[in-house]
Amino acid sequence: MSILKKSSTVRFLAQTIFLLLCSAMTVWASGPKDPSPHGTNIFAPASTPAKSIADLSVLVLVITGIIFVVVFVLLVYSVVKFRGRAKDAGREPAQVYGSTQIELAWTIIPILIVVVLFLATARVIHAIQDAPEPAGAVQVTVIGHQYWWEFRYPKLGIVTANELHIPVSDPGHPTPTFLQLLSADTDHSFWVPELAGKTDLIPNHPNRMWMDPQRTGIFLGQCAQYCGTQHAKMLLRVSVDGPQDFAVWVRAQQGPAVEDAGAIAGRRVFESNACMNCHAVAGTAADGRFGPDLTHLMSRVTIAAGAAKNTHDNLRLWIQDPSAIKPGSLMPAMKLSDTDLDAVVSYMETLR
Ligand code: HEC
Ligand SMILES: [Cu+2]
């Protein structure tokens, strides 16, 4: 290789390293700007499992970062110092046989580093996976569906969708939430980065995870396992509520659907079309399980697993043609007349 080529290789390497460092720093600096809802920054943990994972990531990043710097400094040093010079032309460099000491060193040191990384990781996995469930824990069964989340609170008798409510956990008096993860169809993955690591929802193989958030607020997440066309619009919102707010929410969710005489026409449309075969509304004949429970639809801020805000126009558009909001969604366009559509939307809006 000519001198010219070598120095351009060095420049190329230096530029690549610089760019890599720059992009790493941008990711680091781009924390959640707007305080609510919280973003999905893995370096801003708000719950014990997420914190253990973030600490472990920093340890791994520091160790691998040091290795990266040492290797690159040695590499750049050798490339520059031992580059081919004009006076060396045609001469072979000195032929040296390896050094047993150096070879031992670069075998043993990496083994020690890998052992340290292995032990640190095993410790975190054990602490998270084998954590005992305390008596005061809230239990939630999470069922992944193409492309939405069902949340059931077996002890509280609540069924809801897409927006999980859990209590904040005071470290002095912990009230963690333990999730049992199931799937109705294919493989999904529950991931709210600031609260816990991701865990898959596998058909016929219940998994378990937990979180004990120490801050209130909305935490965002996402299905993290490709599960079909609308996997990208299978979003998660976790509302971490103070004890009082959580109790109020629980009481409201436990009640049957509000019966509003003004929405009787819409209710009739709902019950005389296939809606009621796919959706449940507690206290009525509708007990379908294929789609989200609509008993307290209006208590949710979003519809269709975070694909749209829960507004009048979006609800109407959704019921008219779900694929306008979420192409590939498993709810069919029901082809209602405009009168029926308006009536059923009014009915939906009474489900507080
Ligand atoms: C074949 C079953 C099926 C039928 C029939 C059906 N839906 Fe749905 N519906 C679904 C599924 C599945 C979803 C979730 C879609 C998603 O988020 O990907 C859904 C979502 C919804 C949502 C949003 C709920 C939320 O919290 O995100 C509303 C509102 C809704 N349906 C209303 C209706 C109405 C009104 C009718 C009748 C005119 C109806 N649906 C008919 C399956 C159905
Ligand atoms: Cu999914």
> In which domain, by residue range, is 288 found?
261-348
pTM (whole model) above 0.75: yes
Domain end: 129, 147, 180, which one?
A: 129
What is the Å distance from ligand 1's center to 291 Cα?
5
Are 258 and 351 in contact by the 8 Å Cβ rule? The answer is yes
Output 13 or 320, whichever has higher pLDDT. Answer: 320
Q: Is 330 in the pocket of ligand 1 (CB under 6 A)?
A: yes
Inside any domain, residue 290: yes
* Predicted confidence band of residue 35 (pLDDT cuts 50, 70, 90): very low
Structure letter (DSSP) for residue 347: H
Query: How much is the mean pLDDT over the chain?
Result: 91
C-alpha to C-alpha distance for 115 and 113, rounded to whole angstroms: 5
CATH number at residue 276: 2.60.40.420
Count the domains in the chain: 2
Inside any domain, residue 54: yes
Inside any domain, residue 186: no
Q: Is 351 in the pocket of ligand 1 (CB under 6 A)?
A: no
Distance from first CA to last CA of the chain, Å, rounded? 74
Give the number of whichever ligand sits closest to the CA of residue 308. 1
- pLDDT per residue as tens digits for the range 261-320: 999 999 999 999 999 999 999 999 999 999 999 999 999 999 999 999 999 999 999 999
The predicted structure's pLDDT at residue 29: 42
Give the number of whichever ligand sits closest to the CA of residue 341. 1
Please check the confidence at residue 152 and state whether its pLDDT lies above 90: yes
Inside any domain, residue 197: no
What residues pack around ion ligand 2 (CB closer than 5 A)?
A: 188, 223, 227, 234
Where b means 16+ CB within 10 Å and e means fewer, 203-212 reads eeeebebbbb
Mutual angle of helices 100-129 and 48-81, in 10-degree steps: 160
Inside any domain, residue 200: no
Give the list of residues 6+ apart from residue 144 with CB closer than 8 angstroms, or none: 150, 181, 182, 183, 184, 185, 186, 188, 190, 201, 223, 227
Residue nearest to atom 28 of ligand 1 (CA): 319
| DSSP secondary structure string for all residues of 257-270 | ----GGGHHHHHHH
Residue nearest to atom 13 of ligand 1 (CA): 291
Inside any domain, residue 199: no
Inside any domain, residue 248: no
Indicate which atom in ligand 1 lies nearest the CA of residue 347.
35
Inside any domain, residue 219: no
Q: Is 273 in the pocket of ligand 1 (CB under 6 A)?
A: yes
The predicted structure's pLDDT at residue 216: 96
What is the Å distance from ligand 2's center to 146 Cα?
6
CATH number at residue 103: 1.10.287.90
- Rounded to an integer, the average pLDDT of 151-171 is 97
